[in-house]
Structure 1
Amino acid sequence: MAKILLAGESWISTTTEYKGYDSFTSTKLEIGCEALLHSLKELGHTVTHLKAHDVPEKFPWTMAELNQYDVVLLSDIGSNSFTLSNGVFAGGNPAVNRLELLKQWVLAGGALMMAGGYLSFSGFEGKAHYHGSPIEDILPVSVKPYDDRIEAPQGVHPVQKVANSITTDLGPFPVILGYQDIEPKPDSQVLMIANDTPLLVTGKAGSGRTLAYGTDIAPHWASQDFMAWNHYGEFFSRCINWLAGKLVAVS
C-alpha cells in the first residue's frame, strides 16, 4: 500500500461568547480529515498528516524529503502556505519555492492529488490561488483565476462518466453539496462529473501522476450521507492506489 503525506484539512477557530455584560473567547484546533485518515489506515495505507498551520515550516524542503512518500495529497490548503514561510514573510530572506519543488518531484515520478474545498484550486474569493502556479502546471485540470465554487445546497449526485478502476462497482455516489468549477486539460481523463462539471480527473505529468477531485473529503461539501457511505474509504483508497501506480484508471 501507499505512503501518503496529507497536507492541510485543519483549521483553528476562535469563538467569542457574549453572556450579558460579560464575554469570553475560546480557541480550538479542528481536524477535518479524521474520517479519511482512519479509513486509509484501515485499508493498509501509511498516512502522515501535516496540519495546515504546520505547512509553512514543516512541508518538505527537499526532494529527498518528498521521496519518503508515494503520494502527496493537498486538501483545503492554499498556495500561500507553501510560499510564505517565516523566513520569507517575516525575515525577508529567499527560500525554496516548494510549489516548484513539488512540481519537479511529480515530473520525476511522484504523485499528487488535490481535493476540493474553500482553499483548494482557486477557492473562496480566489484565495487558494493555484491559478498560474507550478501546481496548476502539473494538475490534470486548469484552475480559474477567480472564485471557482459551485454551491449545491440541494445536493448533486456525482455520476461516473466512463468505466474505470477507481469508481466502477462502487454503486451510486451519495450527494455532494458543492464543488469546484475545474476544466480538464486535453490529455486528461474525466472519470466523474457533477451535473456537467468535471469532478474526478486523472492525468500524467512527466513521469508522475496527478488527480483532481473537485469536491471536499469532509463536510460541508461532502454531505453526511457521503461521510456515512460504506464505500467512502474504498473510493479514496482507489484514488491513492491509482496515483501510486497500482491501478489503471480507464479500462
Structure 2
Amino acid sequence: MTKVLLAGESWMTHSIHVKGFDSFTTSAYHEGGTEMIAAMRAAGLDVTYQPAHIAADHFPLSAEALAAYDVVILSDIGANTLLMPDRTFARSEPTPNRLRLIADFVKGGGGLLMVGGYLTFQGIEGKAAYAGTPVDDVLPVALMTRDDRSERPEGVVPAIVNGAHPVMAGLTEWPTFLGYNRSMLREDATLLAEVDGDPFIAVRTVGSGRSAIFASDCGPHWGPPAFLAWPGYGPLWANLCNWLAG
C-alpha cells in the first residue's frame, strides 16, 4: 500500500466584527484537504495528515523518519513552516533543514507532489518562499521569484498535452478552475496539462525518485465545488501518488 504524508491545508482566521459603536472578534480553525484525503483513502492509499501547525514541529526531521513514506505532498504550506520549527525559531536550537531532507528523499527514490495555493510554489506576495530552495531544485518546474498567482475569476479549463501518461489515465472532461500558480517547465520534465502555456500538471524523474506538480488548489477557492464533484477527482490523486511511488 502506498504510504502518503500530506502536510499543510489548514489555517486560522481571526475576524473583527463591527456593529455600530461596538465590536468583537471571533476565531475559527479550517482544514482544506478533507475531500482530497477522503478521496485518496477511498483509492486505497495510506494517508498520514499533518495540518500546517502540526507539521511545523512534527514533520520528519531525519531521512530515516521520512523513509517511512513513499510520497510527500506539500499543499498550501510555506517553506518557513518547515524551516523554522519552534525549537529553532524560539529557542535558537539548530535543526535539520527539512527542505534538503525532502530533496534527498526524492533523489533517493521517494515521490514529491506540490499542490498549488496561496502558500505553495511561491505564493501570495512570494511568502511561500520555495524558490531557490532544495525543494525547488527537484520539482518538474522552476519557481518564479515573485508572487506567482494567476487569478482567473472567469474560469479556465486545463488543456491536456499528454493524455497517454499514467497520471492522466481516465481523466477526461475537466472542470474549470479559478486560478493557479505559474512556473516554468524544466527541460527534463514532462508536461501533462497546461493553461495558456503555463504548466498545470507536470512530472519529472530525479535521481531514483519522482516529482510532480498540480498547479491549482485541491479544493476551494481555486478548485471550485465542481472540481470536488468531478468523477476524476479521486483518480487524479490516486494516479499521481501511485506514479510517484513508482
* Structures share fold, TM-score greater than 0.5: yes
2:104 match = 104
Counterpart Cα distance in 2 of 1:142 and 1:150: 16
* RMSD (Å), alpha carbons: 1.1
Name the aligned partner's letter for residue 128 of structure 1.
A
Q: Which amino acid aligns with 1:238?
A: N
After TM superposition, list the pairs within 5 Å mapping 1:79-90 onto structure 2: 79-90=79-90
Q: Which residue of 1 aligns with 2:13?
A: 13
Secondary structure in structure 2 of the residue aligned to 1:199:
strand
Q: CA deviation at 1:46?
A: 1.0
Deviations 1:121-161 (A, max 9, x none): 11101000111100011111100010111111110001210
Structure 1 position 131 matched with structure 2 position 103:
no
Determine the C-alpha separation between the residues in 2 that align with 1:229 and 1:54.
30
Shift of 1:168: 3.8
- Match of 2:24, SS state, is strand
Partner of 1:248 in structure 2? Answer: none
SS class of match (2:202): strand
| Cα distance, 1:106 vs structure 2 | 1.2
Contact 2:169/2:239 (CA < 8 Å) preserved in 1? no
Q: Within 2, Cα distance between the matches of 1:105 and 1:171?
A: 32
Partner of 1:152: 152
Matched length: 245
Q: What's the TM-score, normalizing by structure 1?
A: 0.95
- Equivalent runs, 1:15-34 vs 2, <5 Å: 15-34=15-34
In structure 2, what is the Cα distance between the partners aligned to 1:104 and 1:158?
A: 31
- The percent identity for this pair of structures is 40
Which residue is equivalent to 1:92? 92
Amino acid at match of 1:182: S
Partner of 2:46: 46
Query: 2:68 corresponds to which residue?
Result: 68
Please name the residue that 1:206 is paired with. Answer: 207
Tell me, which stretches of 5 or more residues in structure 1 are unaligned? 246-251
> What secondary structure sits across from 1:153 in the alignment?
strand
Matched with 2:245 is: 244
**For the residues of structure 2 that align with 1:168 and 1:103, how far apart are their CA atoms?**
27
Contact 1:139–1:211 (8 Å) recurs in 2: yes
CA drift at 1:180: 1.1
